[in-house]
């Protein structure tokens, strides 16, 4: 069969759905060349090669693999195809800032096939190209996010909300990492690599981390569209995949319009159709991400945020005619609530926290990172709880995690390796080292850039981490060598 763009099809042909899916994918993770030859290109990690197979079935071409990088590449050559894809909204050099800021979703996705627009097929392709899903079944934490230029995401968000009006979404700045040394800055890529002019990619060493510093910055024009909380995620998933637990088997002219890995990851977290139906009523924790996006630019205590959360839950359940679930789904325990706020602060980056020292006690105040206060008073400061240099130092879990990296000469370590070391140390009982607790402390150390990730994988537990040694004096007031000596003294004596 010829490619699906250069053939004539009727306005009711289901191949329009495939066209929307392909254009969505290419805008997220593809490119076209319309000068000095005509080519359509795309790439995916080898674990998602089935997505490239879907695109290949639609437009042809050849898939090649780079075994060293585990990346698969699709290249398709042809002037007619490139010209047609441009007509459908694909833009040459669409990742360049001056071009990206003007890109909008293509108009043709507003047409309807069998009473449905092509928006969900376009969004599904875009999600499979460059979107992410994070989630945990046990604690009801889940989130979809789609990166892109702000104008594009604003327009896409309106299209989504027009089709799923009862969900809440929000947009935040995208972040990126830089390595700074001798007043020079380099963008940090996956594998802790930087690009050196005339030398290519270079992987940072332990000595580099000692002499320079890695920092996180706000991207000048890239943003993230978030759909967060199990209520919103279930609604979005049901829409995106037509509420079909076997959507990855669905074909149009033998072409799949769904990748298996991300679909099954969502399905494993959100549950099957019957289970999703039971969970559709929002819990207080489901609503926290959207609540943070609506907070005023002021500081809030834990108690104030609890009151706001319960009132928001009341209003949401009332609008869904499910008010009878309010008493069961509201939050009452401040300790559980504070624990959930840590997710928003350290894993999601939606909240930030400052402390005020009054006497011998610290009092926490929270604010939204989406709509922060114009300034932070001098009596409030951002702080990570790392114990003083005394015999109690080893009973702070975050200190122990830092110590593990120092003992291992700052080898790259993943969550399971860190957990194994903590168990072997026998400072804490194994039963108290809950997965979420350790992960949150790792996330907090990352938030303060004490730990840096080797590769920004979707899940924190899959990331390899290293100690950002040059930042140690900021928090411990001694360098990493002296800190190791101190920790060894208190741990082994």
Q: What is the mean pLDDT of residues 208-225?
A: 89
- pLDDT at residue 295 greater than cutoff 90: yes
How deeply is 304 buried, as exposed, middle or buried, from its count of CB atoms within 10 A (0-12, 13-18, 19+)? middle
Residue with tokens 């894809």: 85
Distance separating the N- and C-terminal Cα atoms of the chain: 74
Percent of the chain whose pLDDT exceeds 90? 55
Classify 393-492 by CATH class: mainly alpha
Q: What is the pLDDT of residues 29-42, one digit of tens each?
A: 999 998 878 999 99
Percent of the chain whose pLDDT exceeds 70? 96
What pLDDT does 437 receive?
82
Distances (CA, A) of 212 to 43, 182, 194, 261, 477: 33, 8, 13, 37, 17
Q: What is the pLDDT of residues 134-189, one digit of tens each?
A: 887 666 678 999 999 999 999 999 999 999 998 889 898 888 889 999 889 999 98
- CB distance 459 to 362 below 8 Å: no
Of the ranges 65-74, 192-201, 226-235, 422-431, which one carries the lowest mean pLDDT score?
65-74
Is beta strand 351-358 parallel, antiparallel or unpaired with respect to 361-368? Answer: antiparallel
Neighbours of 358 (CB within 10 A): 9
- Between 230-240 and 284-294, two packed helices, what is the crossing angle to 10 degrees? 90
Of 34, 25, 5, which Cα lies nearest the Cα of 74? 25
Residue 385 vs residue 366, higher pLDDT: 366
Neighbours of 27 (CB within 10 A): 24
| Record: fold of 15-172+222-277 | Endonuclease I-creI (3.10.28)
Of 148, 104, 113, which Cα lies nearest the Cα of 17? 113
Q: How far apart are CA 156 and CA 61, in angstroms?
A: 29
Q: Do domains 281-381 and 393-492 have the same CATH topology?
A: yes
Confidence of residue 1 (pLDDT cuts 50, 70, 90): low
Start-end of H helices in 241-282: 260-270, 273-278
Confidence of residue 384 (pLDDT cuts 50, 70, 90): confident
Maximum CA pair distance of the chain?
A: 80
What pLDDT does 246 receive?
96
Q: What is the pLDDT of residues 339-349, one digit of tens each?
A: 889 888 887 78
Strand order across the beta sheet in which 361-368 lies: 361-368, 351-358, 380-381
Q: What is the mean pLDDT of residues 351-372?
A: 90
Mean pLDDT over each residue of the chain, to the nearest integer = 90
Residue 374 vs residue 490, higher pLDDT: 374
Q: How far apart are CA 345 and CA 350, in angstroms?
A: 6
What pLDDT does 388 receive?
57
Buried b (16+ CB within 10 A) or exposed e, 111-141: eebeeebbbbbbbbbbbbbbbbbbbbeeebb
- pLDDT at residue 479 greater than cutoff 90: no
Question: Quick one: residue 60, left, alpha or beta (phi over 0 = left, psi -120 to 50 = alpha)?
Answer: left
What pLDDT does 150 receive?
94
Spell out the domain ranges in the chain. Answer: 15-172+222-277, 281-381, 393-492
Q: How far apart are CA 399 and CA 387, in angstroms?
A: 7
Q: What is the pLDDT of residues 59-115, one digit of tens each?
A: 999 999 776 568 899 999 999 999 999 999 898 888 888 899 999 999 999 999 999
Specify the CATH number of the domain 281-381.
1.10.10
Of 165, 132, 168, which Cα lies nearest the Cα of 148? 132
Q: How far apart are CA 201 and CA 192, in angstroms?
A: 10
Q: How far apart are CA 446 and CA 122, in angstroms?
A: 34
Confidence of residue 435 (pLDDT cuts 50, 70, 90): confident
Confidence of residue 256 (pLDDT cuts 50, 70, 90): very high
């Amino acid at each position: 069969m010829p490619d699906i763009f250069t053939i004539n099809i009727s306005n009711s042909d289901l191949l329009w759905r495939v066209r929307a899916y392909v254009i969505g994918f290419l805008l997220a993770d593809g490119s076209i060349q319309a000068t000095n030859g005509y080519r359509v290109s795309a790439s995916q990690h080898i674990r998602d090669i089935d997505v490239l197979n879907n695109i290949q079935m639609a437009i042809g071409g050849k898939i090649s693999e780079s075994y060293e990088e585990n990346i698969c590449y699709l290249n398709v050559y042809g002037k007619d195809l490139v010209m047609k894809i441009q007509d459908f909204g694909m833009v040459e050099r669409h990742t360049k800032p001056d071009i990206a800021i003007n890109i909008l979703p293509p108009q043709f996705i507003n047409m309807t096939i069998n009473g449905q627009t092509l928006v969900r097929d376009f969004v599904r392709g875009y999600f499979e190209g460059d979107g992410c899903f994070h989630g945990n079944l046990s604690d009801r934490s889940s989130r979809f996010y789609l990166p892109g230029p702000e104008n594009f995401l604003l327009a896409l968000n309106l299209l989504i909300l027009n089709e799923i009006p009862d969900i809440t979404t929000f947009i935040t700045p995208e972040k990126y990492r830089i390595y700074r040394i001798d007043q020079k800055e380099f963008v940090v890529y996956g594998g802790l690599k930087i690009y050196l002019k005339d030398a290519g990619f270079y992987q940072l060493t332990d000595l580099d981390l000692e002499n320079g510093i890695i920092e996180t910055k706000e991207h000048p024009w890239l943003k993230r569209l978030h759909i967060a909380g199990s209520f919103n995620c279930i609604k979005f998933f049901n829409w995106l995949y037509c509420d079909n637990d076997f959507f990855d088997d669905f074909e149009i002219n033998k072409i799949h319009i769904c990748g298996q890995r991300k679909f099954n990851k969502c399905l494993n977290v959100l549950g099957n159709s019957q289970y999703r139906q039971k969970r559709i009523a929002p819990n207080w924790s489901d609503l926290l991400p959207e609540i943070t996006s609506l907070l005023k630019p002021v500081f809030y205590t834990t108690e104030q945020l609890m009151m706001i959360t319960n009132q928001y839950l009341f209003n949401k359940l009332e609008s869904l005619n499910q008010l009878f679930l309010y008493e069961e789904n509201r939050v009452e325990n401040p300790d559980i609530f504070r624990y959930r706020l840590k997710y928003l602060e350290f894993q999601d980056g939606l909240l930030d926290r400052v402390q005020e020292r009054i006497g011998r006690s610290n009092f926490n105040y929270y604010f939204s990172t989406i709509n922060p206060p114009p300034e932070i008073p001098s009596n409030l400061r951002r702080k990570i709880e790392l114990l003083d240099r005394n015999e109690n130092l080893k009973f702070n879990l975050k200190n122990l995690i830092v110590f593990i990296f120092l003992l291992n000469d700052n080898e790259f370590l993943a969550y399971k390796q860190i957990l194994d070391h903590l168990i072997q140390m026998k400072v804490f009982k194994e039963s108290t080292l809950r997965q979420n607790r350790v992960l949150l402390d790792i996330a907090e150390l990352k938030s303060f850039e004490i730990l840096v990730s080797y590769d920004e994988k979707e899940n924190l537990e899959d990331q390899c981490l290293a100690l950002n040694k040059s930042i140690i004096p900021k928090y411990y007031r001694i360098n990493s060598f002296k800190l190791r000596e101190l920790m060894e003294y208190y741990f082994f004596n």
